[in-house]
Amino acid sequence: MSFLILVRHGQSTWNLEKRFTGWVDVDLTKKGKLEAEKAGFLIKKLNIEINFYYSSLQLRANNTLNIIQQIMNDKKSIIKAWELNERHYGFLTGLNKEEMNKKIGKDKVHEFRRSWDTKPDALEKTSPYHPINIKTYDKIPKEVLPDTESLKDTYERVLKYFDKEIREKLNDKNVLISAHGNSIRALCKNLFNLDNNQISNLEIPTGNPLIIEFDTELKIIKCKYLDEERSKDLLVF
């Protein structure tokens, strides 16, 4: 038996401002830090040892996990991987979602956000929001840095890393991943065998740990959000 805990970062400053964030590094709001603290206490109450901690390279996911570890009084090292980053939103990066609804229409924005294989137009390489211009990604080969992604693209990079580095550990170890709405959505599609329509409707809340219990054959026994009050209207499999 083993456990996988998936935590989307707490509310970020751009979540609050309703901006497309993608690969841009923004920090947590006060509410986001409180969400991370509550996540830490909820995980601590489980009284299970986390053997491996993973995070994306992004500040909001890193700081969420730092707060969780502080609450748990656990000083294990964190394995950070760009492959767990949020989906790259291309030219939408930094733009306000409500303003884009008015400019190009809600249906088009929804298609860009939630369709399986539609990509927004690429972000220009001269943009300060492009990964090649963000110090966090200095050590990542430029040829793998995206300038736009579909959910399908995100799924493929996240699952490639998960299969190579994490899945086997779940045979007998407990793993916690601090990541993002779309990277966690990608993992859920695979783990729960969701179709493309189901995944487009799957909401991933900020700062609410999803715990998944596996048997010895890595079949899911059960799962639930730890903050049950905040998960009443969420799709849980």
Instruction: List the catalytic residues.
Output: 9, 86
Tell me the DSSP string of 32-70. Answer: HHHHHHHHHHHHHHH-----EEEE-SSHHHHHHHHHHHH
Q: Taking the chain, what is the end-to-end CA distance rounded to the nearest angstrom?
A: 19
Q: How are strands ordered across the β-sheet holding 2-8?
A: 78-80, 52-55, 175-179, 2-8, 210-214, 220-225
Alpha carbon distance 148, 164 (integer Å): 24
Neighbours of 187 (CB within 10 A): 23
| In contact, 64 and 32? CB cutoff 8 Å | yes
